[in-house]
Amino acid sequence: MTTYRIAPSILSADFAQLGNEVRQVVAAGADMIHFDVMDNHYVPNLTIGPMVCSAIRPLVDVPIDVHLMVKPVDRIIPDFAKAGADIISFHPEASEHIDRTLQLIRDNGCKAGLVLNPATPLDYLQHVMDKLDLILIMSVNPGFGGQSFIPHALKKIEAARAMIDASGKSIMLEVDGGIKVDNIAEVARAGADTFVSGSAIFNAPDYHAVIRQMRERLDTVTPRKTE
């Protein structure tokens, strides 16, 4: 059986109540906290950094999944590791030396992930599969919450799933952008196992209800043949 993970993105949380928001979403069944870091350079928005990661770390016991949308990327990685990040992922366009950046994340004791934008080819994965714990497929262009899922991402998820299965390695396949109750099963059927969802969870009146509905939809997905 596939283990499905739901990773609420705190980008859509109420920042004036961030500690409570994080606690509540974990109590409602979140498997990880997705932590979006934007620098107003690599993406046209500015969010939160290692100090905020340190502040929420003691509040919850689920992994913190840091999605770096910053360029350059290397200098900030040790800071996030010290701040308690469990997984750190970055965009290949933001690193001059992708293999080295993946190794830097691992050397700092974190799981490492590579994030592919809608127009970024899967080729970037080919020579670094050994260093990947997570592949994150963007189903929106990064920078903002609340955008619509780009359907073409489904084909890319299928192809990334085939690469992971062929590698025989245990690599999480995460999808980020526009995921809601109504499309989460389709994304799982394409081969994803980890689902970032920001606005669909934090804009809902009842986090528990929306996460439960997502799990009910995931329960309808027939296990893939390779399992």
Compute the least distance from the CB of residue 43 to ligand DX5, in Å.
Answer: 7
Dihedral sign of CA atoms 158, 161, 167, 173 in order: positive
- For ligand DX5, the closer of residues 60 and 103 by Cβ is 60
For tokens 């299928």, the residue is: 158
One character per residue 2-41, x = contact with ligand DX5 (rule: CB under 6 A): -------x-xx---------------------x-x-----
- Nearest CA among 38, 62, 63, 40 for reference residue 48: 38
- Nearest CA among 127, 138, 128, 139 for reference residue 105: 128
Give the catalytic positions in this structure: 36, 176
Compute the least distance from the CB of residue 222 to Zn ion, in Å.
Answer: 28
- Residue 199 interacts, among ligand DX5, Zn ion, none and using kind-specific CB cut-offs from 5 to 8 Å, with ligand DX5
For tokens 């974190």, the residue is: 110
- Residue 156 interacts, among Zn ion, ligand DX5, none and using kind-specific CB cut-offs from 5 to 8 Å, with none
Query: Binding residues for Zn ion, per CB under 5 A?
Result: 36, 67, 176
Q: Are 62 and 32 in contact (CB under 8 A)?
A: yes
Among the candidate windows 80-88, 136-144, 161-169, 182-190, which touches ligand DX5 by CB under 6 A?
Answer: 136-144
At 137, which helix (H) or strand (E)?
strand 134-138
**Structural tokens at position 2:** 């596939």
Q: Map the footprint of ligand DX5 across residues 151-190, applying CB under 6 A.
A: 176-179
Residue of closest CB approach to ligand DX5: 198
- For Zn ion, the closer of residues 178 and 191 by Cβ is 178
Q: Is 108 exposed, middle or buried (0-12, 13-18, 19+ CB in 10 A)?
A: middle
- Bridge-partner residues for 138, per DSSP? 176
Compute the least distance from the CB of residue 12 to Zn ion, in Å.
Answer: 11
- Residue 13 interacts, among ligand DX5, Zn ion, none and using kind-specific CB cut-offs from 5 to 8 Å, with none
* Cα 71-77-81 angle, rounded to 5 deg: 155
Compute the least distance from the CB of residue 166 to ligand DX5, in Å.
Answer: 27
Task: Kindly state the DSSP code that residue 57 receives in the 8-state scheme.
Answer: G
For tokens 């609340």, the residue is: 146
Compute the least distance from the CB of residue 142 to ligand DX5, in Å.
Answer: 4
List of residues contacting ligand DX5 (CB under 6 A): 9, 11-12, 34, 36, 67, 140, 142-143, 145-147, 176-179, 196-200
